[in-house]
């Protein structure tokens, strides 16, 4: 009888430990998903802000090219107009 009670006690302890481990794994999985969702939202916001900044800088470059071109139109001897920026050099050939 004593041997059977010890086996039952071990089974109960093993089952309890198993349930605790499974519960811990589920909690860690859910917290990991929440953390990843927060980071994904931050990354999406940063991407949108960066994309907007790039579009604004492209507009600035285009308008500055137009301004340089309109200033240099009055000079008939110039056959090439170049604009330097941090994104590179833009050259326009005038015919």
Rounded Cα distance between 45 and 49, Å, is 6
**DSSP string covering 2-56, please?**
HHHHHHHHHHHHHHHHHHHHHHHHHHHHHHHHHHHHHHHHHHHHHHHHHHHHHHH
Residue 82's pLDDT band (cuts 50, 70, 90): low
16-70 pLDDT, tens digit each: 999 999 999 999 999 999 999 888 888 888 888 888 888 887 887 777 766 665 6
Q: Which pTM value belongs to this model?
A: 0.41
């Amino acid at each position: 009888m004593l041997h059977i009670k010890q086996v039952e006690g071990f089974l109960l302890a093993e089952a309890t430990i198993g349930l605790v481990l499974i519960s811990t794994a589920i909690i860690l999985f859910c917290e990991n998903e929440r953390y990843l969702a927060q980071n994904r939202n931050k990354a999406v916001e940063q991407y949108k802000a960066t994309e907007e900044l790039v579009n604004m800088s492209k507009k600035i470059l285009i308008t500055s090219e137009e301004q340089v071109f309109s200033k240099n139109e009055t000079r008939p001897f110039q056959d090439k107009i170049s604009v330097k920026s941090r994104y590179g050099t833009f050259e326009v050939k005038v015919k």
